[in-house]
Structure 1
Amino acid sequence: MPTREETQAQWLAQEAAVRAKLTAPGVSTLEQLKQCSGIEFLQRILDGELPPPPIAQTLDFTLIEAEPGRIVFQGTPGMQHYNPIGSVHGGYFCTLLDSALGCAVQSTLPRGSGYTTLELKVNLIRALTDKTGPVRAIGKVIQVGGRVGVAEAEIVDADGKIYAHGTTTCLVFPLP
């Protein structure tokens, strides 16, 4: 079993390899979105063919892995994410989880379909700090139908310790 330091080093190397392929942040067009299934769209971001969303740059996290029904985002909390009481702001947790949850649903959608978050439930289990190191938000689909998608996600560190858990309900719809 790898040590925490070995896992962190592996995670950071994987993140560096992904970031090396990414283009400048931006927003894909509706036409670009409509041309792909959900997983193809996410893979095109990972491959550097489409821009990663600006929120990922703002909070310094990135998509690391994408497969149908499972998504992984990674970030390293720092002082720039702190709230006034001396730990990482809850919005950081929520944004990482919302990204993993929504993209997990998106990864199962056929070409021409979109989604939006209807409900987000987050449980913060323990504090993140600038000493935590890289964390991953791992999202998994529970069920996606023609109109509704449901997913769950956890934020974990290199030891597998859980920092937060979340669930979402998404509305699935045909793109205009």
Structure 2
Amino acid sequence: MSTREETVAQWLAQEAAVRAKLAAPGVASPEQLKQYSGVEFLQRILDGELPIPPIAQTLDFTLLEAEPGRVVFQGTPGKQHYNPIGSVHGGYFCTLLDSALGCAVQSTLPKGSGYTTLELKVNLIRALTDKTGPVRAIGKTIQVGGRVGVAEANIIDVDGKIYAHATTTCLVFPLP
């Protein structure tokens, strides 16, 4: 087995292990959101104690890792994600990146704080197809303060090839 095949197998095995623990899709209640810090909230999703967001099921991607200031999402683009010109729709890229960017910011927030995306800048560098295999969106914070969070993310394949790069600015606020 080649190194690439080994990496694909490792990525898919990690994804399968995470998916085996996940709860059904749904939306956490405001009380649940306020109960945890951002990274604790994301960890509760990974542990299957809180529902996964419905968009993850719709586009078939999942949160794999969450630590303060860094998150990883993984998905495998397929024909169901294609646009009319025969490659993966830009919306797939944007949703995967927005998830990684926003959750990177969320992972740094204290209990009682929330966020929303104010600005999203995406550079699509190369096409994704159903032949690409699994890809990861790795989001990292640049700076998170009391009112504003800034993060960056890349979509990469198992070879480390970059397919897209994005940045975000998020508004940070106390949860009502």
What's the TM-score, normalizing by structure 2? Answer: 0.99
Q: SS of the residue aligned with 1:155?
A: strand
Alignment partner, residue 69 of structure 1:
69
Alignment partner, residue 30 of structure 1:
30
Which residues of structure 1 form unaligned runs of 5+? Answer: none
Alpha-carbon displacement from aligned partner over 1:37-70 (angstroms, at most 9, x marks no partner): 0000000000000000000000000000000000
Alignment partner, residue 45 of structure 2:
45
Alignment partner, residue 89 of structure 1:
89
Deviation at 1:72, TM superposition (A): 0.1
Question: Is 1:60 the counterpart of 2:64 in the alignment?
Answer: no
- The separation in 2 between residues aligned to 1:66 and 1:174, in whole angstroms, is 21
Residue identity opposite 2:130 in structure 1: D
Which residues of structure 2 form unaligned runs of 5+? Answer: none
Deviation at 1:4, TM superposition (A): 1.1
Q: Give the alignment of 1:2-151 within 5 angstroms.
A: 3-151=3-151
- The separation in 1 between residues aligned to 2:13 and 2:148, in whole angstroms, is 36
Q: SS of the residue aligned with 2:24?
A: coil
Q: SS of the residue aligned with 1:11?
A: helix
Residue identity opposite 2:165 in structure 1: H
Q: SS of the residue aligned with 2:39?
A: helix
Residue identity opposite 1:113 in structure 2: S
Deviation at 1:116, TM superposition (A): 0.1
- The separation in 1 between residues aligned to 2:97 and 2:84, in whole angstroms, is 22
Q: SS of the residue aligned with 2:110?
A: coil
Residue identity opposite 1:56 in structure 2: A
- The separation in 2 between residues aligned to 1:21 and 1:83, in whole angstroms, is 32
Alpha-carbon displacement from aligned partner over 1:141-172 (angstroms, at most 9, x marks no partner): 00000000000000000000000000000000
- The separation in 2 between residues aligned to 1:97 and 1:80, in whole angstroms, is 18
Residue identity opposite 1:27 in structure 2: V
Q: Which runs of 4+ in 1 moved over 2 A?
A: none
In the alignment of these two chains, the number of paired residues is 175
Residue identity opposite 1:36 in structure 2: Y
Alignment partner, residue 162 of structure 1:
162
- The separation in 1 between residues aligned to 2:47 and 2:12, in whole angstroms, is 18
